[in-house]
Amino acid sequence: MANAAPGMDGILVVAKEPGFTSHDVVALVRRLTATRRAGHGGTLDPFASGVLPVFLGLGTRIVEYHMADDKSYRATVCFGSTSETDDRDGELVAGTGPVPTKEAVEAALADFRGPILQRPPDYSALKVAGRRAYDLARQGTPAELAPRAVVIRRLDLVEWDDSDPARPAAVLEVECGAGTYIRSLARDLGDRLGCGAYLGALIRSASGPFALAAAHSLDEIRSAAAVGPDAMAALLLPIHAGLDAIPGATLTDTEVIAVAKGQQVKPTDRPSVEPGARVRFLAEDGTLVGIGSWKGGRLVPEKIFLGAPASAGTGRERGAGAGTGGAGDDTGDTGDTSGGADRNSAHAALASEPRLRVADPRNKMAVVPGIGALTAELGRLYLAVGVFDGLHRGHLYLLRELCRAARRAGARPAVITFDAHPEELIEGLAPPLLCDPDERLVRLQAAGIEVTVVQHFDHALRITPYDAFVASVREHIGVAGFVMTPDAAFGFERGGTPEALGALGEREGFAVTVVSSFLSNGEQVRSSEIRRRVTAGDLAGARSLLGRSVGVTGRLGEPALPETGAGSGRMPVSFDLPVSLPPDGRYAVVVGPAWGPRLPALPASRPNVASVVDGAVLLEDGSAGAAGDRIRVVFNAAASEA
């Protein structure tokens, strides 16, 4: 792939045409702009059309701030039939009840306005136990998808067509919150009226601040690409477009320098926002410096946009006092941490995965099955609480600071983590994992952690206040203190903020150490951002934040018979839990044995090619191991780039 054209950092608002998937549009834009990093701001079904914001280069760093944007649609709902996919692409089955009148439809709409619970369609891209819901539905075993809370702010009938009395159709104008399925709205409206209904057509007229009137057709984009990079760049909105809803704080030159280093500041211009609210950091000339949050009377940086672009790989990684050495700072699985600049390095096939770097080979970490199993024999603990999915560079920086704080207090560094991701209980679906649970324990031990508590996460724990949670720990063991980042919190409704925990510690006699969030190229390292980059196919970008190449752990299945009669056939890899995988395609990988607390952490070293198809992984060289073996598959690059 060609190097990214200069100036291709921004937002391209595309008018998607029916017949294209959202992934198709992103792939086309990526090719026409020669920009490696690209992603969209909300999926549109293939039959739908309308606004699809595509974020390019630096613009990909602000996608998360648009994921909660409201959407507006013009939807055609057809009554008198149902569809297995809840839209016109599925097989239609005639309804059993009488078709409604226009007046009946208008009356029924009232029940769908405001906050409602909505069950996602069976044919959706949601993952259940690592598999797409639409895959399970196609096999005749649709998943039990839990209803979700969504908000429909406006729902009006603007056109009524009863030219076919047996199949009337209503055109609805819909304004709704993120996560709302218009297909589900059509299905549920038909159920409410007793006649069945499906979505016949859909146009997205707005996605947050991006409107269809300002969107560019695919032909317009192709024409601009034919003229040259300047014409294409002229179609882009700046990365700060549409962020005006986030309150701003104007910083002095000195404050700009401080936040650019990842430091928290007490600004001269105090924003009028609630604690924990998101804030834009602005220079005195109005330039967007970064985005962060307002906590404890300080601005806490999350993303910084000053200096070299993240994709250029020249930005300096920053954290409070952060270096790049020392116990627990990284795993040794360095890969390419340049953010994608060194493409020759990023795309070269790995001969072998680097060995795991261990802070102290004498460390025999104790793994405790829950807080109730803690005993005084383990000694005083200095604790960090979190899921620690991925053990990325931000986590490893925090763990290094935890080890330092524990040494200063004469305590043992310890972690409380969970056997399930909290989102699985809260939202009904767990996010795809970046690190196998067994491998997570190995990496925690390598980072210098001496005690890891694996706590069961259930509804009772979810509603436990932070002070009761701390009391349950201190009931079993001495607690020297906690280490947290400014934006961290635990306990019911995230009540255990650093400020609240610090006040509790002053009363109860334990310390709270707050360390600045780790910034890489001006961006706070987060598991959600790494997952987004993996899903978008940006393996180099994910590697820059993860600190190692993306890897997954699964179990080998029986090899398929080779089509040509030669070789040993392709071997499928199955997963017990959802894992973070790149888009469909072929990838250069290395394969090795799975890691576990009592297993050697051997580097993956056997070259192979993996095909990702609809969330499934197939190894093309069928000699990766025996069926039933647990293995690690480490992704390097798309096979065409290796």
Secondary structure element (H or E) that encloses residue 204, with its range: strand 197-207
Q: C-alpha distances in angstroms, 308 versus 58, 187, 289, 304?
A: 10, 49, 12, 10
User: Is there a contact between 448 and 363 (Cβ–Cβ < 8 Å)?
Assistant: yes
Q: Which residues contact 616 (CB under 8 A, 6 or more apart)?
A: 572, 573
- Rounded CA-CA distance 61/238 in Å is 12
β-pair type (412-418, 114-118):
unpaired
* Coil, strand or helix at 93: strand
User: Is there a contact between 291 and 281 (Cβ–Cβ < 8 Å)?
Assistant: yes
Q: C-alpha distances in angstroms, 397 versus 359, 442, 515, 620?
A: 13, 17, 9, 37
* Coil, strand or helix at 354: coil
- Give the burial class of 254: count Cβ atoms within 10 A of its Cβ; 0-12 exposed, 13-18 middle, 19 or more buried: exposed
β-pair type (10-16, 216-217):
parallel
- Rounded CA-CA distance 616/582 in Å is 11
β-pair type (451-455, 412-418):
parallel
User: Is there a contact between 340 and 544 (Cβ–Cβ < 8 Å)?
Assistant: yes
Does residue 45 carry a catalytic annotation?
Answer: yes
* Coil, strand or helix at 637: strand
Task: Find, among 186, 168, 177, the residue nearest to 148 by Cα.
Answer: 177
Task: Find, among 341, 261, 244, the residue nearest to 299 by Cα.
Answer: 261
Catalytic residue (choose from 45, 69, 122, 333): 45
Tokens of 470: 């701390």
Length of the chain: 642
DSSP 472: H
Beta bridge partners of 87: 199
Task: Find, among 433, 513, 429, the residue nearest to 125 by Cα.
Answer: 429
Place of tokens 């890897």: 551
Instruction: Write out the catalytic residue numbers.
Output: 45
